[in-house]
């Protein structure tokens, strides 16, 4: 399930900052449930890699007051997106 609402063990690991990338589970997308789970486990920031956060995930980031680095601003997209 790519990290969304389904059971994903990676989301259960406490962290300060999450750096999701597109190769996480092949096609990871962090939706609002995934962002809430990360926040519950102590995550305070998401630095996105190549559009891995859904629109409702970004809304949840804002709602929870987490720090957010969108992939287009952090230049963390895949190599093919910058070549």
**More confident call, 57 vs 75:** 57
Report which of residues 42 and 49 the model is more confident about: 42
CA distance linking residue 46 with residue 20, whole number of Å = 8
pLDDT for residue 26: 53
d(Cα 56, Cα 30) in Å, to the nearest integer?
A: 9
**pLDDT average, residue stretch 3-13:** 65
Grade residue 74 by pLDDT with cuts at 50, 70 and 90.
low
List Cα–Cα distances, 11 to 42, 56, 75, 80, 83, in angstroms.
11, 17, 23, 27, 31
Q: Looking at residue 66, what is its pLDDT?
A: 96
pTM of the model: 0.74
């Amino acid at each position: 399930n790519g990290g969304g609402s389904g059971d994903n063990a990676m989301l259960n690991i406490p962290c300060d900052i999450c750096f999701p990338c597109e190769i996480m589970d092949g096609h990871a997308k962090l939706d609002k449930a995934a962002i809430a789970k990360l926040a519950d486990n102590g995550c305070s920031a998401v630095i996105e890699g190549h559009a891995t956060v859904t629109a409702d995930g970004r809304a949840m980031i804002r709602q929870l007051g987490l720090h957010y680095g969108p992939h287009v601003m952090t230049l963390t997209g895949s190599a093919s997106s910058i070549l």
